[in-house]
Chain A
Amino acid sequence: MSTRFLIGVALALFALFAAAQEKFPSRPITMIVPFPPGGVADLTGRPIAAAMEKVLKQPIAPVNRSGAGGKVGYAATANSKPDGYTILIALSSVSIFPEVDNIFNLKPAYTLDQLVPIALISADPTILVVHPSLPARNAKEFIALAKSRPNEIAFSSSGLYGTLHVAMEMVIQSARVKLRHVPFAGGGPAVAALLGGHVAALSSGPAAAVAHLRSGKLRALASWGDKRLAAMPELPTWKELGYKDVEFYIWAGLLAPRGTPDAAIKALREAARSAVQDSEFKQVMARLETPINYLDAPEFQKFWERDAERLVRTVRRVGKIDAKK
């Protein structure tokens, strides 16, 4: 054992010691984006990362780990080293996958208690949009039509057990109607199918539908929020219409793996709090027509629990799709 080796060991120990004393963050942070570039998670994640960098004085690098509808990125974060240097920009779908794995008797790729909240960035209710050829002028007529023609009205979605499917399923279960489900691979193709009249209805994010509503190619009937949308005040909510348990949001929030040191969580929470006030960030979100709905970790935790409970209940009632149906 040479002197040089001993000096090396001493230096390494010293570095370790110094690191333990260091303030968080002392090196760049990775933000896992579980969807490809250009999606909602990516478009929210990048600007919030840029705004948080200003506070934390360390770069936050968004890394797209897409696959299996987001599951790959969620699982990767949940199973990563909880040191505060890996965070996740998650969408509502994060709550759905573990339950779907349960339905198929698979070992879940991750569980919800492997993740802890940092901050909620945005939460937008979806809206019911229909093709203009559908003879329903409002949500009441839509439900009446669905009851008089069971299993005849078709709706598209971003995928089976995907967020847009689960939202529609809430209405199906609450209003006791039967609709035909035609899943597509992603929100874009689902909107295209509705525009082409191949399906009659879709629960869509407001931003994806607003241009088509303005041009009259689609019609909006109801919203999934607990209060009316600021941008579409004439649109009733399902709750107003008497469907109490129909409430759904496409939300985007920051999560970290459980076990992340409190000091790191605290620093990240503070960074997120000032980031949502950042003028550049506000400007980007306004352009995307996505209202900012900031909640700090404790309130976000409550919001998430309620939301996950609704989603899991709905998914459980959907269950396995019977091949013979």
Chain B
Amino acid sequence: MAETFQNLLLGFSVALQPSILVYAFVGCLIGTLVGMMPGLGPLAGISLLLPATFGLNPIIAIVLLSGVYYGAMYGGSTTSILMRIPGEAASVMTCVDGYAMTQNGRAGPALAIAAIGSFIAGTFGVIGLMLLAPTLAEFALRFGPPEYTALLLMGLFILAYMSGGSMLKTLAMAAFGLMLGMIGIDVMSGYTRFSHGLVELGDGVGIVPVAVGLFGVSEILLTAGAPTAPDVQRPKLRDLIPSREEFRLSAGPIARGSLLGFLIGIIPGSAHIISSFVSYGIERRLSKHPERFGQGAIEGVAGPESANNAAASGAFVPMMALGIPTSPVTAVMIAAIMVHGILPGPLLIQQQPELFWGFVASMYVGNVVLLILNLPMVGLFVNLLRIPYSYLYPCILCFCIVGTYSVSNSLMDVWILLAMGAIGYVLRKFGYDLAPVALGLVLAPMLELSLRQSLAMSAGDYAIFVTRPIAAVMFALGAALFVFSLKPLFGKGGDWRASVGLDSEQG
């Protein structure tokens, strides 16, 4: 413990140098701005900035990039809350209740709670990284394809709790999402599926154009199609600060989201995307008034926002402790330090204490910077809503298209964005919930790959899912969840859906 403390002092002595502090600040600022661009998320942000770090020293490079990463995570929530445009997959859930809060005139509190939740979760994640990185990393490696399959299946069960509307419609949308996720080259056999000869579809349909199209573009179309233009909001100062009640309601979701996000984040792979979905599902399940979800429940912002920020720090555990790039974002970060001749690997923490502890300390600093940067800016951001829709929406549409294109310089992504905007418009006219589409699209390729990898490992023997302890426990949990979610189909009255009267046809 004393040693950790000493190391942390070393770290702060690095991170608090004025030059490094400036880069942490610049990183957070750039990240926030990038994250606010529709379609541009953390990955795009750090990818675009990576070449610029080649000339800097490695500590500055990694401080700058992690600032961008954090900032973009947070910036994505701003557009989700204010305009219903998710910057990346992780903020899809924030769109639902965050935007509903904006429509209720509570945009300020939603942004403030998102900032505070992100700060707490981020700080919690760094503490976890600092104290437990080597231990946790070894544990995380035990997550192979079978464990991953179990985790993702649990994610799928969460779908049942996600939506307030009809179960049938939720499942239909989830199926649509899963089907979209089938497009592309089959990793196990090499067959190209449903790509109609378009090479760009080989990797499948990206989540960013789909999420931005379904949520953002459809919202613009719906507003344009409304018989009367919605009133432009004129937020007052006292509407910016969360009420005592809102703070009270957020405390639990932030705490649970932080823990959950961190645990999911350390697992190698891209599963951290599901952390915000899982958090939303849990909060809704635990809430005494689940019917408020979707109508502007602060818990629906606090939980997922905390979860995705904690997952962001969790993802650094395998990267720092083992030097393996387990997700696209950490792959770019590893490249950034490799260019400087530092070999990431199990010995990194011992061989480069300044780098590791400087990085840890700079994450503390970065979280504080973000909070300082963003809380005062809540007022500024909210005032964007004063812009009349006839000016605001065309601009947003342009930003959506430019942002989506710039992620991989692909015109195909722009077409997907526009098509999804149209599909989203129609589906929302018919009262479908769109979040399950996003979760389905994210889950389908990962679930399919890990299931088939598991079977490749065992030469087709399904016993692999029960003979490995972690996988077996998770499957048991998943089965329990599944039975639990079936309950409303059989037992009447016990389910909250009945009390809302939304699900009568399921009876």
Contact: B341 with A180, CB < 8 Å?
Answer: no
Q: Is A241 an interface residue (CB 8 A)?
A: no
23 contacts between A and B (CB under 8 A): A36-B332, A38-B334, A39-B335, A42-B335, A63-B409, A71-B199, A72-B202, A72-B410, A161-B190, A188-B326, A192-B268, A192-B326, A196-B268, A207-B338, A210-B343, A211-B343, A211-B344, A211-B346, A211-B348, A215-B345, A287-B341, A288-B338, A321-B188
B187 at the interface (CB under 8 A from A): yes
Q: Is B228 an interface residue (CB 8 A)?
A: no
Q: Give the Cβ gap from B235 to chain A, nearest Cβ, in Å.
A: 39
Q: If A182-B145, A289-B343, A320-B190 touch, does A66 touch B457 (CB 8 Å cutoff)?
A: no
Taking a contact as CB atoms closer than 8 A, the residue among B189, B322, B339, B409 that contacts A288 in the complex is B339
Known: A68-B202, A188-B325. A196 touches B187 (CB 8 A): no
Choose one: B335, B341, B409; the contact of A38 (CB below 8 Å). B335
Q: Which residues of B contact A159 (CB under 8 A)?
A: 187
Q: How many A-B residue pairs have CB under 8 A?
A: 159
A75 within 8 A of B: yes
Contact assessment for A189 and B268 in the assembled complex, using a CB-CB cutoff below 8 Å: yes
Q: CB within 8 Å of B: which of A154-191?
A: 154, 159-161, 180-186, 188-189, 191
Q: A154-B456, A182-B145 are in contact. List 14 more A-B contacts (CB 8 A).
A: A39-B335, A43-B338, A72-B202, A72-B410, A100-B190, A191-B324, A192-B324, A196-B268, A207-B338, A211-B347, A286-B341, A287-B339, A288-B338, A321-B190
Q: Contacting chain B: which of A20-28, A101-109, A219-227, A299-307?
A: A101-109
Known: A67-B203, A69-B202, A72-B199. A160 touches B189 (CB 8 A): yes
CB within 8 Å of A: which B448-476 residues: 449, 453, 456-457, 459
Chain B 170-214 against A: per-residue CB contact (8 Å), 1 yes, 0 no?
000000000000000101111110000101101100000000000
The 8 Å CB contact of B51, one of A37, A72, A161, is A37
Binary contact track A49-72/B, C-beta < 8 Å → 1, others 0: 000000000000011111111011
Question: In the bound complex, how far is the Cα of B453 from the Cα of A186, in angstroms?
Answer: 14
Whether A181 and B339, one on each chain, are in contact in the complex, defined by CB atoms closer than 8 angstroms, is: no
**B36 nearest CB across to chain A (Å):** 21
Beta-carbon contact of A106 and B192 below 8 Å: yes
Residues on B with beta carbons closer than 8 Å to the beta carbon of A211:
323, 343-348
In the complex, whether B247 has a CB less than 8 A from a CB of chain A is: no
Contact with B along A286-302 (1 / 0, CB 8 A): 11110000000000000
Q: List residues of B whose CB falls within 8 A of some A CB.
A: 47-48, 50-51, 54, 141-145, 185, 187-192, 197, 199-200, 202-203, 268-269, 318, 322-326, 328, 331-332, 334-336, 338-341, 343-348, 408-410, 449, 453, 456-457, 459
- A contact residues around B199 at 8 Å (CB): 67-68, 71-72, 75, 109
In the assembly, what is the distance between CA of A207 and CA of B342, in Å? 11
Total chain A interface residues with beta-carbon distance under 8 A:
62
Query: Is there contact, CB below 8 Å, between A37 and B50?
Result: yes
Is A316 in contact with chain B by the CB < 8 A criterion?
A: no
B443–chain A nearest beta-carbon distance, Å: 15
Contact B197 A287 (CB under 8 A): no
Chain A's nearest CB lies how many Å from the CB of B264? 16
The reply to whether A217 and B202 form a contact with Cβ atoms under 8 Å apart is no
Chain A residues with CB below 8 A from B324, complex form = 188, 191-192, 195
Chain B residue numbers with a CB within 8 Å of A188 are: 324-326, 331
Interface: A323 (CB within 8 A): yes
With A43-B339, A64-B408, A288-B338 already in contact, the answer to whether A196 and B332 are too (CB < 8 A) is no
Residues of the A chain whose Cβ atoms lie less than 8 Å from the Cβ of B344? 211
- Cross-chain contact B345 with A196 (CB below 8 angstroms): no
Known: A62-B51, A72-B202, A195-B141. A67 touches B339 (CB 8 A): no
Contact A192 B141 (CB under 8 A): yes
**A37 touches which one: B203, B332, B456 (CB < 8 A)?**
B332
Q: How far is the CA of A107 from the CA of B196 in the complex (A)?
A: 11
Closest chain A residue to B326 by CB distance?
A: A192
Q: Closest B-chain residue to A191, C-beta based?
A: B324
Contact A107 B190 (CB under 8 A): no
B residues within 8 A CB of A120? none
Which A residue's beta carbon lies closest to that of B206?
A67
The 9 closest A-B pairs by CB, nearest first: A211-B345, A68-B202, A38-B335, A287-B341, A198-B144, A196-B141, A188-B325, A38-B332, A37-B47
Q: Which of A2-42 contact B (CB under 8 A)?
A: 36-39, 42
B residues in contact with A323, CB < 8 Å: 189
Q: Within 8 Å CB of B145, what residues of A?
A: 182, 193, 198
Pick from A62, A65, A193, A212: contact of B408, CB below 8 A: A65
User: Complex formed: what's the CA distance from A238 to B338 in Å?
Assistant: 29
How many Å lie between the Cα of A284 and that of B410 in the bound state?
30
CA distance A103 to B191 in the complex (A): 10
User: Which residues from B are CB-within-8-Å of A36?
Assistant: 47, 328, 331-332, 408
Docked Cα-Cα span, A67 to B198, in Å, equals 11
- Chain A nearest Cβ from B447, distance in angstroms: 13
**In the complex, chain A residues whose CB is within 8 Å of the CB of B347:** 211, 214-215
- CB of B134 to closest CB in A, whole Å: 12
Report A193 CB to chain B, min CB distance, Å: 6
Cβ-neighbour of A64 out of B203, B328, B409 (below 8 A): B409
Across the interface, which residues of A come within 8 angstroms of B187, CB to CB?
159-160, 183, 185
A182 and B187 CA atoms in complex are apart in Å by: 10
- A138 at the binding interface (Cβ < 8 Å): no
Distance (whole angstroms) from the CB of A139 to the closest CB of chain B: 23
A104 near B191: Cβ-Cβ < 8 Å:
yes
Chain B residues, CB < 8 A from A185:
187, 449
* The one of A67, A183, A320, A321 that contacts B453, using a Cβ cutoff of 8 Å: A183
Instruction: Report the separation of the CA atoms of residues A72 and B198 in the bound assembly, to the nearest whole angstrom.
Output: 10
B158 to chain A, nearest CB (A): 23
Whether A46 sits at the interface, judged by CB under 8 Å, is yes
Q: Is the CB of A217 within 8 A of B346?
A: yes
Closest Cβ of chain B to A77, distance in Å, is 12
Most buried by A among B187, B192, B341, B453: B453
| Complex interface: chain A residues within 8 A of B48 (CB) | 37
Closest to A63 in B: B409
Instruction: Check if B345 sits within 8 Å of A212, measured CB to CB.
Output: yes
Is A199 an interface residue, CB under 8 A from the partner? yes
Q: Does A151 contact B (CB under 8 A)?
A: yes
